[in-house]
Each structure stands twice: as C-alpha cells, then as structure tokens.
Amino acid sequence: MIKHYNIPIFLPELACPYRCVYCNQFSITGLNDIVKPDNVKAIIDNHLSSFKEENRFVEVAFFGGNFTGLPVGMQNDYLEAVQPYLEKGLIHGIRCSTRPDYISLQRVQEIKRYGMRNIELGAQSTNDEVLKLCKRGHTYNDIVEASQIILSEGITLGLQMMIGLPSSDEENDFQTAKDIVNLGAKETRIYPCIVVKDTELASMYQSGEYQALSIEEAVRRSSKLYTYFIENDVKVLRIGLHASDELDSEAYVAGPYHKNFAEMVFSNIWEEKLTNINTESKNIIINVPESQINHAIGWKGENKKILSERFGNVTFKAKDERRKTKDNKGCLSQFDTSTSSVTDFDFTITSKEELPTIIADGRMPEEAKKNLKKFGDVLFLNPTEITYKSISAHPDIFFFQTEDGFIYAPNAPKRIVKELKKRKIKLTEGKKEVGKKYPETVPYNAVGIGDTLIHNLKHTDSTILSLYKNHINVNQGYTRCNLVALNENCFITSDEGIFNAVNGRQTTDNSRVAETQRHRDAECCASTGSATEKLKAQSRDASTMSFIKQNENTFTEDIVDTSVQKFVLYIDPKQIKLEGHDHGFFPGCCGVWKNNLVVCGSTKNLKEKEELDKFLKDNNFNLIELYDGELVDVGSVFLVRNEE
Ligand code: SF4
C-alpha cells in the first residue's frame, strides 16, 4: 500500500490584496514569519528525513494566501526549489491553493511544467451575495472559469468551501457543495466559519449583525456535506480548521472551533446511520470497519450510550483488518479524512444470541486469538497445575461438549465455569476430577454426536456415559484430541485406532454390525469384492487419507447403497505442533460451529490438503483458519450457542 505524504509550506496572506471579513491569516495559520524560497529546501529535507514508509507518494503543498497571485518570479523561485527533489524522485508532485480570480491559462501551463498536479481554489461559496458580503473580491463566475482552465490542463481540481458564512444558510451551503461536484472538483475541504479577533467579522459578531454557527449545527451540517461529497467521489481532504496556539488562546472570538471537529463530524455521521437500526434483540454487536470503530462508538462514547438505552447491551467490533489512519508529521491534515469512502460507513448488526461462546487455550498464537475473538465471545483458559503443562489449558481435558452445553470436571478452572454459567450455557458437573497423569487426564476427552458416544469407555466419566444410547469403544483415551465430528456422518481423525474402529466398530448394544467401506471417489470399483478388499487395505494404511463409507444396519459387500453414509478423513498427526511433544493431532486444532470448521493454523501445507478441501466442500463446510501459521494442537476449540 502506498503511503501518501504532503509537505505543507504555508505562505500566509502573501499576495492576497483582499481582506475577507473573516480573515486574519496570521492568526489562523499561527505563522508570522513568511517562508522564503530559500527556506523550502530545509523544510523538505526535514520532512523527508521523518518519513518512515518506503513505499510512498510525496507532494509539496504551497498553502495559504494566494500562490498564483505572487509575483511570477517568486512563484518560480518556490517551484524551482522543489525541482531537484522531483528529478531525484524524492518528491512526486506539487500542489497549491490560490484564489479563483488569479488563474489564467498561461500561468497554469507554466506552473504545470514545474510539476504542479493539484490546484485548490478557495471558492468558499458559490453564492454571489454571500461572496459579496464576505468581501471575497471574486464571483461565482470566476470560480467557474478558473475551474475550467485547471481541468483543461489535466490538473486535479480542488474547491474548498466554508459553512456558516454571513447570510449563508444550510441551503446555500448545500448548493455550494452541489456546484463543487458539478464543476468537476475531485477534492474539497470543509471549513466552518470562525470569528477571529481583529477581523471585520468580529465587529459584525459583536454588533449582532452576524451569528456564528453553534458547534452542534456546524457538526451536523458538515456531516451531511461530507456524506454528499464521498457519495459523489469527491475526496474531503479536511474538515475543520487546523488547531493553532493563537486560536486556542487570544485570537478566537466565537464560532464552531474545536480541535476534534472532524472526529465529531464522523461521530455524527455514525449516529445518523445507527439511528436506523431495527432489531428485536436486546444484546447486539455492531460490526464496523476497524478504522471507524472509535467514530462509530461516538464522540465521548455518545453513540454507544444512545444505542445502549435503546437495545440494552451494545458491543462494537472491528469487522476487518484495515489499517488505522495515523497522524504523521507531514500529513496534509491532522486528521486524515481523505481515505474515507462510502464503504467505510458500512456496518452489520449481529444479535449476540447468534454468536457462540468459545472456550480455547489462551496460549494459542496471538493472531489466532485476535481472529477468534471476532468469531464470538471467547473464554481463554490459562495453564493450571491440575495436570501436565502441555495440556493444562486444553479445553478438551476439562470439558466435554454436549449438543447444547458442557459436562465439566469438578476441578475445571472455576473462572471459566462461572463465565459459562453467567451466559446461561447448559452445564452439568461430572463425577471424576482431572488428574496429573493418564488415564486421569481423559475422562472428558470424548466425542458425542447424535445419540452416539465415542471414547475409551473404561475411562469415561459416568455422567457422560449416561447421556448416550450408543457407545463406541476406542483404545485412544484422548479421543476428542483425535476426532472431530462435523456432523453425525462426517469425522476427521488423526488416530489409526479410531480410524479402524470406525471401519469395524463395536458398539455396546451390539446391534450394529460390520460395515463395508470404499473410497468415496472409487464408486467405479464398488461392485466388485476385490475392489472392496483393496479399499479396506487402503483404509488400514493410516498414512493414506481415506474416506470410509459405513452402511448402518446391514453387513454387505454391496457398497452401492448410499442411503446412509459415514465418512472419516484421516490426517497424519506428524504435521501438527504440540509444545513438549513430537507432535499433536489435527482434531486438537479444530472446532466446529454450524457449517464451519475452525482451525488453529493454516492447512495449506498439509499433505492431505486437497482431500480436506474436497471433504469439506462435499459436506458443505467452510474452512476458517485462525491465522496463517503452523497448525497447533490447542486441545480443541469449543464453540457453543450463547443463550444469554
Ligand atoms: S482570500 Fe480572503 S481568506 Fe484568503 S488570504 Fe485573502 S483575505 Fe484571507
């Protein structure tokens, strides 16, 4: 991403033969020494040395006063000072601000040769009566003609405007904005009219002839104008005056001056947008672009307060990873508004009831944690002394996930149990405590799906056993670490025993019988017994991923029957990281939420990647990778419906 920098050079009041009623340039810019052409080099060098971003676009900007009204020799001296930097590619363009009545075709052509790319005209209003009362010294027609000349030379046109000028009302201000769009401007600035000491406007204000806008009105008006401009592809380079010591102290008389004016405007735009929320929920999450989150919450949290009164519990969340706008030395504006577009104000509403509560190992990589938080309400487990270190913060050691809640070990971390209770998640306390060593570590490490429980049944907590009608016994005590159920028919495992148990599983009620098997993609072989044998062999080769079909109630070599199919995908565990061990297990990286398989790490380097993607696609599952790094066994990620 290219970073845009401006190097501002202020030339206050220089060459301006007028005195608009509100103007006291020295006060507004806070400068009383005029920059000479000789000083330009030092200013540029100083700024360039402070820019950190390598990939950047830099412009020198001559602001204030009336650049094209300067004696031609002086204009050229300023522009000459920039040329060595343009030639070396350190500066990429020049921009200036000037008056509309000081634009001629010849002058524009000359300054264009020096690298002038953008010219901003101080239009302020397009209403002749307002311009006259303000003693601007030019008319709307001057603005039109100057705009046409600038555009005819292929230079980007900027038209600045002011709100709240004498005799201007909201309608006039909005008309000015419309004219700015229609004249072909690509940039604008919105300045509220401020009453400054030692100006004619100050006298008008004191005599009652002029009434300044209140800050609230200026914010409201600016936010409407801002929205209108971005909808019409006009960049708003600035809203509000630059802060200055003079304005902060003796120069200010009246009017909507505030250091955080732009933030107040953005907050107001969000307030307007959020007013229209219509939901029954009393617990909502508003997902907004990351760069806008503070504005959405509102100036001094006002928007959140208003919404909380309406909806109860309101949370704002960043919905993407966009870079926040930073305030850099050399930036055109203290608060860079120019990066905004209509989509920056897009938001979505989620009812909290729709989001899961999540239990996860607090030691997972930071980026994964950050992304998991976007997915729901996460409770992170911290390591405890209850069991050995590598699994001491693993959710699947302390919690067994049921269809709508958890069975938990009596010595499970109290904080997590308390938080789950607070969220009204269905909880049942188990009988067995988790201990230091196997098999005391596994009573809850089982998988329950539908009416079937899969575990090493010798070690299962009795509360869990009693919950399921069918029990499948496997040798692996760490069953959940090694098996994740996408649904009643689809499983992923990293354990050969579990893989084979699914092939020829035994159930405690013995009502189920052996199954046939086949590679899911090998239907062409399905009708021959020899093909079936081959597939059985393949399925026993645990280093090869296989899909297994199981017919539910009949033992048959006829594997064409697809009425009830169950599939298991094997993923070699050697590819999974688990601190303190040679490796972990793929299901230990995983959690399931609706039709999403949430994985702690990237699957791109898995040797079974193609099969995994196909498996998920065939079963209408999405893959959500929590970060782009190695797959880490985090003792499963449990996602459960939030009943709060
Ligand atoms: S045009 Fe008006 S505001 Fe600008 S410098 Fe001249 S007098 Fe001041």
609 and 506 inside one domain: yes
Q: Are 233 and 277 members of one domain? A: no
CA-to-CA separations, 143 to 109, 122, 237, in angstroms, rounded? 18, 9, 19
Domain end point (choices 237, 259, 281): 259
448 Cβ inside 6 Å of ligand 1: no
Q: Do 347 and 368 belong to one domain?
A: no
19 CB near ligand 1 (under 6 Å): yes
pLDDT for 335 beyond 50: no
Which residue type, as a one-letter code, is found at position 431?
A: K
Indicate if ligand 1 lies below 6 Å from the C-beta of 26.
no
User: Does residue 445 share a domain with residue 367?
Assistant: yes
Query: Nearest-CA neighbor of 225 among 164, 277, 275, 166?
Result: 164
Tell me, what's the pLDDT at 331? 28
**What local confidence, expressed as pLDDT, does residue 287 receive?**
86
- Cβ of 413 below 6 Å from ligand 1: no
With residues binned 3-state (H G I as helix, E B as strand, rest as coil), the percentages for the chain, rounded to 5, are: 35, 20, 45
Q: Are residues 170 and 283 in the same domain?
A: no
Into how many domains does the chain fold?
A: 3
Same domain, 145 and 290: no
pLDDT: which is higher, 543 or 178: 178
Nearest Cα residue to atom 5 of ligand 1: 65
- Decide whether any atom of ligand 1 lies within 6 Å of the 456 Cβ: no
Answer yes or no: is the C-beta of 16 below 6 A from any ligand 1 atom. yes
Q: What is the CATH number of the domain that holds 553?
A: 3.75.10
Residue 551 lies in a domain: yes
What are the residues whose beta carbons fall under 8 Å from the beta carbon of 120, sequence distance 6 or more? 95, 96, 97, 98, 157, 158, 159, 160, 187, 189
- Which atom in ligand 1 lies closest to the alpha carbon of residue 124? 3
The DSSP H or E segment spanning 275 is: helix 261-275
Q: Is the pTM of this model over 0.85?
A: no
Q: Is residue 264 part of a domain?
A: no
For residue 69, how far is its CA from the centre of ligand 1 (angstroms)? Answer: 11
- Yes or no: say if 376 and 419 are a contact pair by the CB < 8 Å rule: no
Q: What is the mean pLDDT of residues 276-290?
A: 81
Whether residue 347 is predicted with pLDDT greater than 80 in this model: the reply is no
| 555 confidence band (pLDDT: 50, 70, 90) | very low
CB of 40 closer than 6 A to ligand 1? no
Tens-digit pLDDT profile for residues 112-153: 999 999 999 999 999 999 999 999 999 999 999 999 999 999
Residues 396 and 541 in one domain: yes
Domain boundary among 320, 352, 384: 352
> What are the tens digits of pLDDT across the range 45-92?
999 999 887 789 999 999 876 899 999 999 999 999 999 999 999 999
Is the pLDDT assigned to residue 417 strictly greater than 90? yes
Q: What DSSP letter does each residue of 44-66 carry, written as one string? A: HHHHHHH---SSEEEEEEEESS-
Query: Is there a single domain that holds both residue 441 and residue 542?
Result: yes
Domain boundaries, position 39: 3-259
